[in-house]
Structure 1
């Protein structure tokens, strides 16, 4: 069997053994607490990361999310004093024990992780792991089919392997907080150097992994415009709303002569304009632009089409833009450009933002009108607007003046006055009724000699004399005095409204 066939056979056996081992790996956890902050993402290797979504102090629990390359794949709840795990089959397994849950912080007592990952390294190359640890190749022996490795913490070597043969697992640790297992999958000859391939890794650690700085390609550039001239096309755009977490380094410009397809015209640095002078008048061109950062090229902008034409250009800026705020709306009015570019204006583009100055986001495109009402606004928020003119050549590069307005609910004083008048009328009626009701009643002051007689009004006991009885309906009433050892005394009393009527009785013994 030649070396090539041996390598194929050897790799097949290694992968089979690897997958078999992956199903039953178990690692000893550390006992030191580890702190994770809510909302931060922590790298687990193999494209996986974990973060604490939120904590519940009353329920002594926390929610954890597992992501793979920025996409959520699972979510679990971990309880204080308990444990939780994520399991993606043979490719990934992670478990941890929760030590304590505090506000926006979770402390763990142990972490263990197994993940299918692979790395091809040359002598001197390092594999960055977690929390500042890395595995470095220090020697490769292709003929002997073995290699040697060290574990670094930053620049410091904290552990070294023995001779490791192809297909063998080996471990590295710092003796305190970090333990790492992987397998030497293959050794082979590269273009100009010997290489090793490590496959699968398992680790346990007891210090927090630093937050992941997740970068992604940027979003498309905004407000892309292509304006033709005589033998040239001016391109202009603004930065993407999302740079993917890394600085923009370049922009790629694409140009074709049909509405579909893509051909890279040029790459410019971190610029926001480009003039294409390699064009033919009368030929229609289709342009797109994309942004590039350290994570790669982002999606392209919308396609813009233009036709360079001699003697015809885009219109100048619309004049005297004004914005007037209303209740949940802003009304815009403007005047036509002083120069239509040699061909009639066909429409206008309205741009809006909530900050003054700079590039604004395209809100809408209207026909050949000089007014527009923006109803997608919130009362109390100030909005800033630009307007540009469009003709058959394209959109004008220069926009109108900036106009701003703050929509707000207007007070209708006529309605308020009518409500006040109605309320006053109702109040007057109520007061008159109360006065009328009050004038229906009077009072009686009952006195006897001797005092202490029981007093009855129309047969109802009211107390002992002397006593004053209020809220007595006007008219004729019977007052009875009764005292032990004396004859009852009955008086007929006429009660007048808003008056106190006195009644007196001299009690006699039988």
Structure 2
């Protein structure tokens, strides 16, 4: 259903018929046409639309003369993926931290669902009741040390459950002198390069970060974390002072995934979140 409201034009005046009105879209529709009398468009009038979002024009009749009314329509849908998701290993546990989606598709987030994944990406829900909209962290306990685990989180709004965000395998350990996982903050296309930016996290009681290792693979919708047709490849080993990398060895129209690890004297740390972006043509 689409509902909208617009100012009623006064008698003998057609000017207000071109003012903008607002509305919301739900469902799939096919026809655009509404006819009213000289009282103008009544609040709550419903009609059908041919596209999900954009600017629409309908026809109304004032004093027997047909005239257009233009208004803007906003789509609603399930939320996009989370803005960020990281997994921090501990002794027999993993802590998940996240930020809400940047785009909630027209309706606010009402909660989050946490999943554990097996090797085939089958999801098992870990939160029988949906977590509240203000929750930003979740601890999974009673895990075996030295065994890798995979987790995912999705946001929910009134329309339904949104796009799932995955995190790379993480391994709980009794002693963790290696670095915490860095955070990739953004990946975007500019000047014929995919540009990757990240933040490293030095932790109290652990040796200082001495460098980073950046990995890349071809993105796969079916296997977002482990594409069997394109194994992860180390593309750069970088100094600890570096917080960005411009990848020019890419093909236009191809989407690439990236993650990064930190290095210290104890070894290579845990993988960051995964972000992906398509290489443009200019």
TM-score by length of 2: 0.50
Aligned counterparts of 1:223 and 1:38: Cα–Cα separation in 2:
36
Partner of 2:113: 252
Change beyond 3 A, Cα 1:37–1:343: same
Q: Check whether the contact 2:181–2:200 (CA below 8 A) recurs between aligned residues.
A: no
Q: Of 222, 226, 238, which aligns to 1:369?
A: 238
Alignment of 1:146-295 (within 5 A): 214-266=75-127, 267-269=130-132, 270-295=134-159
Aligned counterparts of 2:141 and 2:31: Cα–Cα separation in 1:
50
Aligned counterparts of 1:292 and 1:213: Cα–Cα separation in 2:
19
Partner of 1:98: 66
Q: Of 150, 173, 177, which aligns to 1:309?
A: 173
Partner of 1:184: none
**Which has more helix, going by share of residues?**
1
Is 2:29 the partner of 1:48? yes
Measure how far apart 1:223 and its partner are.
Answer: 1.8
Measure how far apart 1:291 and its partner are.
Answer: 0.2
Change beyond 3 A, Cα 1:50–1:38: farther
Aligned counterparts of 2:199 and 2:157: Cα–Cα separation in 1:
39
Q: Check whether the contact 1:228–1:393 (CA below 8 A) recurs between aligned residues.
A: no
Change beyond 3 A, Cα 1:69–1:289: farther
Aligned counterparts of 2:31 and 2:21: Cα–Cα separation in 1:
10
Change beyond 3 A, Cα 1:258–1:346: farther
Q: Check whether the contact 1:220–1:301 (CA below 8 A) recurs between aligned residues.
A: yes
Change beyond 3 A, Cα 1:314–1:242: farther
Change beyond 3 A, Cα 1:35–1:231: same
Q: Check whether the contact 1:236–1:274 (CA below 8 A) recurs between aligned residues.
A: yes
Q: Deviations over 1:1-56 (max 9, x none)?
A: xxxxxxxxxxxxxxxxxxxxxxxxxxxxxxx888464474466x87438889xxxx
Per the alignment, in what secondary structure is the counterpart of residue 179 of structure 2? coil
Q: Check whether the contact 2:209–2:262 (CA below 8 A) recurs between aligned residues.
A: no
Measure how far apart 1:293 and its partner are.
Answer: 1.0
Alignment of 1:324-403 (within 5 A): 347=213, 367-370=236-239, 371=242, 372-374=244-246, 389=262, 392=268, 394-395=270-271
Higher relative contact order (CA 8 A, sep 6+): 2
Change beyond 3 A, Cα 1:241–1:255: same
Alignment of 1:129-140 (within 5 A): none
Aligned counterparts of 1:251 and 1:225: Cα–Cα separation in 2:
15
Change beyond 3 A, Cα 1:245–1:307: same
TM-score by length of 1: 0.30
Measure how far apart 1:288 and its partner are.
Answer: 0.8
Q: Check whether the contact 1:259–1:286 (CA below 8 A) recurs between aligned residues.
A: no
Change beyond 3 A, Cα 1:271–1:36: farther
How many residues are paired up? 197
**Which has more strand, going by share of residues?**
1
User: Runs of 5+ in structure 2 lacking a partner?
Assistant: 1-10, 34-47, 183-190, 216-233, 249-259, 274-282
Larger radius of gyration: 1
Change beyond 3 A, Cα 1:341–1:395: farther
User: Runs of 5+ in structure 1 lacking a partner?
Assistant: 1-31, 53-65, 82-95, 108-207, 319-326, 350-364, 377-386, 398-510
Across the aligned residues of Structure 1 and Structure 2, the Cα RMSD in angstroms comes to 5.3
Measure how far apart 1:309 and its partner are.
Answer: 1.6
Change beyond 3 A, Cα 1:256–1:333: closer
Per the alignment, in what secondary structure is the counterpart of residue 299 of structure 1? coil
Q: Check whether the contact 1:236–1:273 (CA below 8 A) recurs between aligned residues.
A: yes
Aligned counterparts of 1:294 and 1:335: Cα–Cα separation in 2:
36
Change beyond 3 A, Cα 1:46–1:293: closer
